[in-house]
Amino acid sequence: MTKLHPILFACAALSGLAPASSLHAAASQPDCAPLGSLPTYAASEDGPTRRDYNAFDFNVGKADGSGDTTRIAGRFCQQHYEPKDGTEPLSNLEILDNYRAQAAHLGAGIVFSDDNDIVGKLTSDGHETWFKVYSEETAIDVTVVDKQPHRQVLTGPSGNDYPLLGHMPNYVAGAPEKRNFDQLDFAVDDGAGGSNSVTVQGAKYTVSYMIADGAQPNSNPDILENYRTALQQMDAQILFADDNNLDARLQHDGKSIWIKVYSEDTEIHLDAIEEKAFAATIQPASADALKAALDKDGHVALYVNFDFNKASLRPDAKPVIAQVVALLQANPDLKLDVSGNTDNIGTHDYNVKLSGERAASVVAALVQAGIAADRLHADGNGPDKPIADNTSAEGRARNRRVELVKM
C-alpha cells in the first residue's frame, strides 16, 4: 500500500472537499495540494498554473486588525474554479468555511481572513506551505506556495547569448542585434522607493528569448533571480529591480558594462551596453602640477582607478599615488584631506559609504609609502559634490574622483 503524505492523508476526513490522493498524483490532478476542491465546482479546463519557483504576496493579519503582506517563494500552484453546469453557486461564507475546516484538519493556522479571502500557513518539520483561497461565489481562486530556496539553473554563455551571460534552459535565443554605437536608458534606484533614468552610450548587444515548444515557462521571479545571481557572481552592482526588470552595471576587461533584463514569463529580453572607459585615458598630474593647483584653488582632483564597485586600488593607480607621495615629501608642512566622490549611479547612502572607503584606501596607500598618518584625513561625499553632468558618460567619469584638499 502506498504511504500517503501526512498533509494529504488529513484531507480524506474533510467535509465537502475532494482531496488529491498523494503528492505524486496531485501533480497530474486539477487541484493544488494540499487543498482539495468543492464537489459542485469545476477546475478550469487548461489546468492549474504550476511553476517550479515563483513568489506570491500573502496577506497576514496583525493584532490591531490591520493587514500586511509577506512574500513567499517556492514551488507554486494556482487554480481557478467555477460552478459546474446546472449547479447553484455557494455563498462566500460556505465556501470559505469549507476551506477553514480543511485547514483545521491539516493543522494549518489561518493568518488572514475577510469576507472574500482566507490565508493559511501549514508548518511540518520546519517546512512551510502557504495557501490563499479567494471567493466571489461564482469563482474561486486557490494559490499554494510550498516554500523552497531558489535553485540556480542559468546556463553558461553560448551561441547567440551575450558573451557574459547564459540563458534559461527552457528558452531559445533569437538572432542578436548588434550596434557599434548606440544608447539605452537604464533605471537606477533612487533610494526612496523610486528610480532615475540614466542614458548610457556605447556598443550595444540585444538578444531575445522565447519559450521552447512544449516547455513550461519559468516565472518572472525565477528568471530574474537567475540573472541577478549570475550578475552578482561577477561583482555587478544591481541598480534597479522590480517584478519584470533588472538593471545592473559591472566592470569587465576594463570596460563598464550595463545590463538590462526584461521578463514576461514566456519571453526574455536582454540588452547590454559596453560603455567607453573614459577615466582610464586621463594621465596623472605631476607633483608640481598638484602643488600649483593646491596653491591656487586649495584642492585638486585625482582620477584614481579602483576595482569596480569596491574600494581596492587597481595596479594602474600606482603612478597617481607616487605623485602624491612626491608632493607630500617635498612639502613636509602640507596636510591633506583626501575626499572621495562618486557619480550618482546607485543609492545615495551606498555611494557615500563607497566614496569614504575609497578615500581611506588612498590614505592607507600614502601611509604605507611613508607619509605620516597625522598629515592625512579621509572622508566621502558620495554624489553630493559633482563637477560635471551625470547624464553623460564623460560627466560621470569626471565625477568619479578623489580630491586632495589643503587642510
User: Is beta strand 336-341 parallel, antiparallel or unpaired with respect to 376-380?
Assistant: parallel
Q: Do 142 and 207 lie in a common domain?
A: no
In 3D space, the residue among 246, 37, 249 whose CA is nearest the CA of residue 141 turns out to be 37
Q: Do 12 and 123 lie in a common domain?
A: yes
Domain boundary among 245, 275, 305: 275
Q: Do 269 and 141 lie in a common domain?
A: no
Domain boundary among 132, 147, 162: 147
Q: Do 379 and 309 lie in a common domain?
A: yes
CATH assignment at residue 308: 3.30.1330.60
What one-letter code names the amino acid at 187? Answer: A
Q: Do 382 and 313 lie in a common domain?
A: yes
What's the total number of domains in the chain? 3
Q: Do 240 and 330 lie in a common domain?
A: no
pLDDT computed for residue 17 by the predictor: 63
Q: In sequence order, what E strands does 213-281 have?
A: 237-241, 245-252, 255-263, 267-275
CATH assignment at residue 231: 3.30.310
Position 160 in a domain = no
Predicted model pTM: 0.70
Position 166 in a domain = no
Position 159 in a domain = no
Q: Do 40 and 80 lie in a common domain?
A: yes
In 3D space, the residue among 339, 350, 347 whose CA is nearest the CA of residue 400 turns out to be 339
Q: Do 327 and 398 lie in a common domain?
A: yes
Q: Are 31 and 78 in contact (CB under 8 A)?
A: no
Q: pLDDT 10s digit of each residue in the chain, 407 long? A: 333 333 333 333 334 565 433 223 333 468 999 988 999 999 998 889 999 999 999 999 865 556 789 999 999 999 999 999 999 999 999 999 999 999 999 999 999 999 999 999 999 998 999 999 999 999 999 999 999 999 999 999 999 999 999 999 999 999 999 999 899 999 999 888 889 999 898 999 999 999 999 999 999 999 999 999 999 999 999 999 999 999 999 999 888 999 999 999 899 999 999 987 444 445 678 989 999 999 999 999 998 888 777 888 888 889 999 999 999 999 999 999 999 999 988 889 999 999 999 999 999 999 999 999 999 999 999 999 999 988 887 888 889 999 999 99
Position 163 in a domain = no
Q: Are 73 and 147 in contact (CB under 8 A)?
A: yes
Q: Do 184 and 128 lie in a common domain?
A: no
Position 254 in a domain = yes
Helix (H, G, I), strand (E, B) or coil at 257: strand
The three cell numbers of residue 147 are: 516554500
Q: Do 253 and 300 lie in a common domain?
A: no
Q: Are 101 and 150 in contact (CB under 8 A)?
A: no
Position 154 in a domain = no
What does each C-alpha distance from 270 to 2, 5, 180, 219, 280 come to in angstroms?
47, 42, 17, 16, 27
Position 162 in a domain = no
Position 153 in a domain = no
Query: Long-range contacts of range 363-371, CB-CB < 8 Å, 24 or more positions apart?
Result: 363/338, 365/313, 365/317, 365/321, 366/321, 366/324, 366/325, 366/328, 366/338, 369/321, 369/322, 369/325, 370/325, 370/329, 371/325, 371/328, 371/329
Q: Do 44 and 93 lie in a common domain?
A: yes
User: Hunting for cell 563637477 — which residue is that?
Assistant: 387
Domain that holds residue 101: 6-147
Domain boundary among 244, 275, 306: 275
User: Hunting for cell 472574500 — which residue is that?
Assistant: 116
Q: Do 113 and 99 lie in a common domain?
A: yes
